[in-house]
Amino acid sequence: MLFLLPPSETKATSASGGANESALCLREVSLTFGSLEPAREQATKLLGQSLLDAKTMMAIDRYTGTLYGAIHGRGLKGTPTEHAHLSSEAMQRAKQLVLIQSALFGLISATDLIPNYKLSASPKLKSIWAEPHQQVFRRLSGPIIDMRSKQYVALAPIASEIESYWLEVVLESPDGSRSSMNHFNKKSKGELIHAVLNSKQSPKTIKDLVSVAKKAGFGLEVNERELTLVVSYVPPNAN
């Protein structure tokens, strides 16, 4: 099972209090999915600057914001600091299970070393990324849990013949009514990934993932190729 995430607009630097940057610059590292290198070169031309000499950091540390903060456990009950970080064991599991789709680098592993950059998803990138990603998606093993934003899905749709599941998040009120989540959508997805990375065994099936979600306090409903992560509403003053 693989988890496919979007990047974040906000990114860490060594000066921002996060993980330290690597001593390696981009020209000294190799990104996962080498077949995407020609497309990466095209995307870099749109960026308008070379990043070959820029210092790098693991993608899961480079990307910040709500989703990635929750993946590291920041804001979870019992987490004492805003700089909580995944354990080495959880990071190793992230290397195996978590993929991130970058506007600049395309599909990468969570532990690939990348520089700080500014390039967001836009329609003009679809001609660069759509077809190369299809070839990569077809070579991946196991079901793909697609947690990307719609902007990144548009850049590289997953073909219907590939086993993938779109995940959405809903808030369930005490009366049973449901509504879509906005800001907390990212937080809930991050908390689910955090639970997966810290579970005793990596989930291999959707049934396994439902069990992990339940232990993390979520409901996870399956409807063919769609997953619904159900977050129960807790009133602010509830004990």
Q: Which tens digit of pLDDT belongs to each residue from 92-134?
A: 999 999 999 999 999 999 999 999 999 999 999 999 999 999 9
The model's confidence at residue 80, banded by pLDDT at 50, 70 and 90, is: very low
Assess if residue 202 is contained within a domain: yes
Pairing of strands 57-58, 113-114: antiparallel
Assess if residue 32 is contained within a domain: yes
Assess if residue 143 is contained within a domain: yes
- Residue 56 belongs to what domain range? 2-232
Give the Å distances, CA to CA, from 4 to 51, 122, 188: 25, 19, 15
- Give the pLDDT of residue 139: 94
Assess if residue 239 is contained within a domain: no
The model's confidence at residue 62, banded by pLDDT at 50, 70 and 90, is: very high
Assess if residue 237 is contained within a domain: no
Assess if residue 72 is contained within a domain: yes
- How many folded domains does the chain comprise? 1
Assess if residue 238 is contained within a domain: no
Give the Å distances, CA to CA, from 16 to 12, 56, 59, 66, 153: 6, 14, 15, 16, 30
Give the Å distances, CA to CA, from 19 to 6, 11, 14, 64: 20, 11, 7, 11
Assess if residue 158 is contained within a domain: yes
Residue 33 has pLDDT above 60, yes or no: yes
The predicted model gives 187-216 an average pLDDT of 95
